[in-house]
Chain A
Amino acid sequence: MPLVSIPVERLQKLVNRRLSRDDLTTALERLGNDVEGYAVVSRYRCAACGQVLEVLEHEDFNNRCDACGDKDLAVTGWSEVVRINLLPVRPDTFDAAGLARALRGILGIETGLPEHRFGRSGISCRVSAGMEDVRPHIAGAVVRGLRLDDEGLKALMKLQENLHWALGRDRRRASIGAYDLDTLRPGFEFRPVEPEGVAFVPLLGMPAEPGARGGEMRPATPREILRRHPKGVAYAHLLAGKDRYPLLLDSAGTVLSMPPVINSEPTRVTGKTENLFIDVTGPDRHAVARTICVIAAALADGGARVETVTIEHADGRTEETPDMTPAAMDLDAAEANRVLGLDLAPDEMAGQLARMRHSAAVAGGRITVQVPAYRSDVMHQHDLIEDIAIGYGYHRVPPRLVPAMTVGRPQPTEEDSETCRRALTGLGLMETMTLLLTNPQAHFRTLRQPEDGSYPQIENPANADQTMVRQHLLTGLLDTLRVNVAAEMPQRIFELGDCLELDPGAETGTRVRRMVGIGLTGPRAGFADCKTVIEALGAELDLILRFAPAEHPTFIPGRCALVLAERGRARLDWGIMGEVHPEVLQAVGIGQPVALAQLHLDPTPEHPATPGRASGA
């Protein structure tokens, strides 16, 4: 989860109460925030591009602007911050203003729906025909009277970035643009353009060479931006397959942005900006509407004046955005008490909902709740029930046990594993555990086994060592013995673990098999020693064993056996055992003889337990 740094001073001012660190932490945690700690950030401004950077104490910092790469940075201030793991479902609490709004509620300073009544700006944005196939939804807002210091400017950019992540799903559902209104001539137009149909200077200019940051302040076409500008390259996939791209312009034809990729340089927001135009666009109407409300609420609570923008749709409909009308939702008080295991009166529930900044009217057992427009997470009355619990305080919920009597019942596989574990530890073997993930080199080739690709393979491995799921335990046993070559001999180990094999008939195309692996090493470790252990284990499992000569590439010729078992009248292929081939030992890096065995926990006649594709006798 991304971490966000909220300036403590600003937060206190917005909450309008001095809180000790402990009190602040407690209140934040009651709201469900995970407080990482407190720190100091220093702020720098880039002399070249005006970008504001925030750097934590002890953070790696190469003294370069992260936007344009320039090294001419001036310190402009510092703040004490509280570091919080973002709560992805509550994007309305991503910044100091939103967090303060929630804190004022939970602390009882101000409850109920926040006042967000915005006047009309008179500014409109016309959506051209054809946008439904390109980027169908747009919302706008005008913000006046901003006094953005560096801290405020940085906070606005951070909020935008985090909303892109949480509500916008990395700009897929919605993306945000903010512009210096005083550089623009309203009204605006949102229309589709051909890839070469327009040219504008993208934010920070076009890179002089591929991979460079910032660069030449020259106009470029959408196609060129998507191919060469770093942001263009990063977000080109969101416009892939479209023959026209979305473009936002003012009445003078100045390009504001090409959502969701990039803004234009001349309209950029700086520390001198006093008035903003903000747009949110995207394919997801709901996400677009919520996002503009979150930003508008944050800026309004931060002290600016927000005004609405009229969106004129191609079909003649118009709407005022942001629309801060709360959503009404009915809540059944009995259901709430059932889910919480409490016995709260509806009025008390309404009170707790008010502390969570809803407004609630009680009528009998039903509560009608007005949910603020900036809340994107309320999909069901259960979401409001949780808010009641948070307002009430989780620490006040009395822990109780479910009265119903049920009988514990273990999985047979786990019980059988425990039996094997008892037998093998009783024989003095030490249990080891290894990873299920491995790679064909370690799993087959190092063990001299043929590899034919018929095993579960990962499409997106994180590294070359872990590209498949194991089919046998031998690799893990040898790996454990390898890391212990310097430890006291002899060593006797076992592993009880799951292996996977392909099974085209199964629902998931694979089948899990629990295996028993045995590994013995030391100057005198060998076939007989291993056979003794297997016979002892077999006896405890009530199996009658027979050992048949076998050839297997991992084992020394003539020192490998199939372990066959009889239980009642069933004849089972239990597993394989033998002395490991010296070529394998050398490849793994073990200097002592090793005997290995692998047995099926649950042997079945039709599935021989030969690891890899062994040739049985």
Chain B
Amino acid sequence: MTRLPEVEYRVLAALEPGRSLVLAELAAASRVDQSLLTAGAVALSQRGLVAIAEQSQHELSLTEDGQRAAAGGLPERAALAAIRSAGGTVAFAGLPGLTGRPDTRAEVKWLTKKGWCSRDATTLTLTDHGRAAADVKGADEVLVEKLAGGPMTEAELAAAGVDVRSALELLRGRDELLRRRRRTSRLLSLTDAGAALKAGGIEPAQEVTQLTPELIATGRWRDVIIKRYDVTLATGRQYPGKAHPLQRVIQETRRAFLEMGFEETASPVVETAFWDFDALFQPQDHPAREMQDTFYLAVPAAGRLPDAELVRRVARTHEDGGDTGSTGWRYRWDAATARKLVLRTHTTAATIRAVAQNPGPPRKVFSVGKVFRRENVDQTHLPEFIQIDGIIIDEGASLATLFGTLSEFYLRMGAKEVRFRPSFFPYTEPSAEAFAFIEGLGWVEMCGCGVFRPEVTRPLGCRTPVIAWGGGLERVAMLRFGLDDIRKLYWADINWLRETKLCR
């Protein structure tokens, strides 16, 4: 004995092997509402118990005139009754009076066409046929009445006992009453599997949509049938909470550094010019230090310099090279200029502080942070952006290991190939720019890099080679996420945040 949901049970019960039924017939036979029936039949067909065949049929429906005829009868029916009451013969002229209709051409036409009346020049006379028809509805009238409830196919009308063929014959030429259209309907039949199941015995059972704790606890889930779902139906849209796309690039970068054995360092956002410029051997009249390019602070206006000996060594290196083997910049170094406070222009300020703190090799250090340049906001510029900086203090630090480290780093970040070309930075010598080949974008400039000048490292007490590199992350994020406007990162459209995918 197989248990089935009530509807499916009734469908199977109503179907007999070798006999197909349209839905309407099945509805009548199974006493299930057609809307429920469809879902049940589909469920059964998905399990291979019922076959659903498409069948093309004609559907009939009433026009507005047709609806009136369905409610009040065909005009010739009323006229027939009126003529009979009037004795069987009436003059044409009297017909409007009898029927209450000023224009009786339709009545005359159909009374004669159906053979209910014969006519001469001025009168209509009831025929025997007409007399016989007076108490019996014609097939056409039955059909019109049936259609009052809504459109039906010819098969459905036939199933409802209408002699469709005769009716249509009678109604030929009465297009004002009736519309006829092709419609596809479904024809249901038992499959072999369905027949076998039915033969094995079936019984109806309650169907539940939601499995409740109560059903589980009581074990009643055994007695019910858990409703099958249409698993293809659409459901509501949901978004996970996500880290900001730029933040994801930052975290990937940090991970790559940490995996490669780098310790992370940080430095103040407001920085003394000493650590931002002087310690990096940028002369005090260097264009990058100008008000035009660098944000200086009015409040607070000045910071403290580090210990006097370190400051003295940096000052001498600027002035005449000190003991670094350099000619220096040949000018008078000014402590007040170095005490000025700026908004950090690069995170090299963080890595150079790390060198000063502990210049002993081997060390690998990186920093990620906000840096500032005096720019206005537009599509490609922001006054602040995220920069990464990395250094390696090591006896083996060299241009070759710089290129090797950066190649490894950018390959980890998804580049296909990395190459270098000469460049210039005040604090590195040799200097280079790194370009990465990124699928779909081509060669993209990633960072500036080089070997710190002895004028930078020696005054900090570092006698080991130091390689260093730094670059912005916004552009990497923009390329990755296909942005053409940098502002979208910091004035984010929440829909963009919702839809930017987590996968790479």
Contacts and interface: CB of A to CB of B under 8 A. Distances in A.
Contacts of B268: 506-508, 510-512
A550 interface: no
B374 A462 contact: yes
Contact of A404 (B362, B407, B497): B362
Interface stretch (A11-19, A74-82, A346-354, A430-438): A430-438
A435 B384 contact: yes
Interface stretch (A233-241, A256-264, A496-504): A496-504
B362 A341 contact: no
Nearest to B422: A32
A14 B19 CA distance: 99
A403 B396 contact: yes
Given A400-B404, A408-B257, A462-B376, A286 B330 contact: yes
A458 B363 contact: no
A615 to B, nearest CB: 23
Contact of A428 (B240, B382, B418): B240
A339 B269 contact: no
B394 A404 contact: yes
A340 B403 CA distance: 10
B491 A483 contact: yes
Interface string B430-465: 111000000000000000000101110000000001
Interface stretch (A389-397, A556-564, A599-607): A389-397
Contacts of B421: 29-30, 32, 394
Nearest to A343: B400
B265 interface: yes
B39 interface: no
Contacts of A410: 254, 258, 264
B493 A484 contact: yes
Contacts of A413: 266
A455 B262 contact: no
A319 interface: no
A38 to B, nearest CB: 18
B430 A385 contact: yes
Interface in B341-372: 341, 343, 361-364, 368, 370, 372
Nearest to A509: B300
Contacts of A480: 491-492, 494
A374 to B, nearest CB: 16
B397 A402 contact: yes
B296 A458 contact: yes
B399 A341 contact: yes
Interface stretch (B83-91, B173-181, B244-252): B244-252
A8 interface: no
Contacts of A113: none
Given A400-B401, A401-B408, A386 B384 contact: no
B163 interface: no
Interface in A301-353: 338-342
Contacts of A430: 239, 241-242, 494, 497-498
B495 interface: yes
B244 A432 contact: yes
B129 to A, nearest CB: 72
Nearest to B407: A399
Contact of A399 (B247, B266, B299, B400): B400
A408 B258 contact: yes
A394 B432 contact: yes
A173 B330 CA distance: 11
Given A480-B491, A502-B300, A507-B272, A427 B241 contact: yes
Contacts of A340: 398-400, 430
A487 B384 contact: no
Contact of B429 (A90, A380, A421, A508): A380
B141 to A, nearest CB: 58
A498 B424 contact: no
Of residues B257, B368, B407, B423, which shows the largest number of chain A Cβ atoms within 10 Å of its Cβ? B423
B490 A434 contact: yes
Interface stretch (B26-34, B117-125, B192-200, B321-329): B321-329
Given A379-B327, A458-B296, A401 B262 contact: no
Nearest to A413: B266
A486 B131 CA distance: 76
A24 interface: no
Interface string A199-220: 0000000000000000000000
Nearest to A394: B420
A402 B285 contact: no
Contacts of B401: 341, 399-402
A462 B383 contact: yes
B272 A483 contact: no
A507 B304 contact: yes
B99 interface: no
Given A397-B399, A458-B296, A409 B264 contact: yes
Classify chain A: how many residues form its interface, as a range.
Answer: 35 or more
Contacts of A463: 376
A386 B453 CA distance: 11
B237 to A, nearest CB: 9
B343 A487 contact: no
A411 B422 contact: no
B69 interface: no
Contacts of A386: 422, 429-431
A36 B381 CA distance: 19
A363 interface: no
B375 to A, nearest CB: 6
B347 to A, nearest CB: 12
A500 B325 contact: no
Contacts of A421: 243, 247
Nearest to A461: B295
Contacts of A434: 490-491
Contacts of A460: 291, 295-296, 374
A336 to B, nearest CB: 10
A329 to B, nearest CB: 9
B68 to A, nearest CB: 50
Contacts of A32: 421-424
Contacts of A284: 330-331
B302 interface: yes
Given A284-B331, A341-B401, A380-B321, A508 B271 contact: yes
Nearest to A89: B424
A509 B260 CA distance: 35
B364 A411 contact: no
A492 B241 CA distance: 9
A362 interface: no
A479 B491 contact: yes
A31 interface: yes
A409 B272 CA distance: 26
A540 to B, nearest CB: 14
B328 A406 contact: no
Contacts of A402: 362, 364, 392, 394, 396-397, 401, 404-405
27 contacts: A284-B331, A339-B398, A340-B398, A340-B399, A340-B430, A379-B328, A380-B324, A389-B430, A406-B263, A410-B264, A421-B243, A421-B247, A425-B241, A425-B243, A427-B241, A431-B242, A432-B497, A434-B490, A435-B382, A453-B299, A456-B270, A458-B297, A460-B296, A462-B374, A483-B492, A502-B299, A510-B341
Given A411-B264, A433-B244, A508-B271, 19 more contacts: A169-B287, A285-B330, A338-B398, A339-B398, A341-B396, A379-B326, A389-B422, A394-B403, A395-B420, A402-B397, A402-B401, A406-B263, A421-B243, A425-B240, A431-B242, A434-B490, A465-B377, A502-B299, A506-B268
Interface of B: 239-244, 246-247, 251, 254, 257-266, 268-272, 285, 287, 291, 295-304, 321, 324-331, 341, 343, 361-364, 368, 370, 372, 374-377, 382-384, 392, 394, 396-408, 418-424, 429-432, 451, 453-455, 465, 489-495, 497-498
Top 5 A-B residue pairs of the complex, sorted by shortest distance between their CB atoms: A341-B400, A341-B398, A32-B422, A509-B300, A404-B362
